[in-house]
Structure 1
Amino acid sequence: MIIWRGWGVLAIVYIALCAALLGGLLGASILQSSTAAGVLAGLGILIGVALATVHGWYLNVIGPRKRANQWEAVERPRLEEAADRGSLVVGNTQPRSPEEAAQMIESVIADGRRAIGILGMIAGVAVAAVNLISGLTA
């Protein structure tokens, strides 16, 4: 059983809509050919899978990248302010110099961006696998 989360159900919508539009509307209704309808329905499935993949890429790769940039825009000034006040502590360690504080801030930012990126990659692989399975079973 596949449990849909978020916008994953759109993969079926994209595939069904493209197959119906190309195979049913164009092939069967306009061209009035069952052979063309079958070929165009297959093409519609491929186009639907491509649309779902692009949408999944946007939601799971581009979206997390934007969220990481937004997080950094908020977190970096907060960390720099804490370093200026002398209250910056990372991993139970307080920096001894401004240079060490800058290195610690970069480390925190890199770790945060990496965590967001890993979650995005996992979600992207999951969406791609669902799209592949949907395309093969359709």
Structure 2
Amino acid sequence: MAFKSVFNDTVSMFIDVQNVARLRKALRGVARETVRALLFTVSDPYEVIDTLEGRFGKPELLTLSELENMKRMPCMTEDGHNIDSFASKISNTVAAIKSLNQPQYLYSPEIVSRVVEKLSIIFKYKWYEFKSKRTEALELELLSRFLNNMG
């Protein structure tokens, strides 16, 4: 996602041949191997990008990867000292889910529950109090807002 975003933000600054050269220089590993022949045979950078997107740009898989990273986050410290970094990770996941157009994952009580389990006892209590006063259905987004307000 980050690679494509940077590419899209800067593509208009270069001509097609330069953009293909930029892709040649930037791509590594499996991504480069996926488009190896295209890097030297096409002059349209979007042919390369479309091929990469077909292989690596599946929104559902990217979303699941983001959620797995969130699930592997360490627990919040009991004193809540790491609330800012904790909140940032959740906010970034919510932003990624939205940008991938996968809003159904923002409704998942299972995912919210997994994150809440990582909160300190005090923040769990505050979360349940905060949530009881809200009716929004996008629980993960609501949790993100709560954590950012607490930070």
Q: Would the TM-score normalized by the shorter structure come out above 0.5?
A: no
More helix by share: 1
Higher Cα radius of gyration: 1
Give TM-score, length-normalised by structure 1: 0.30
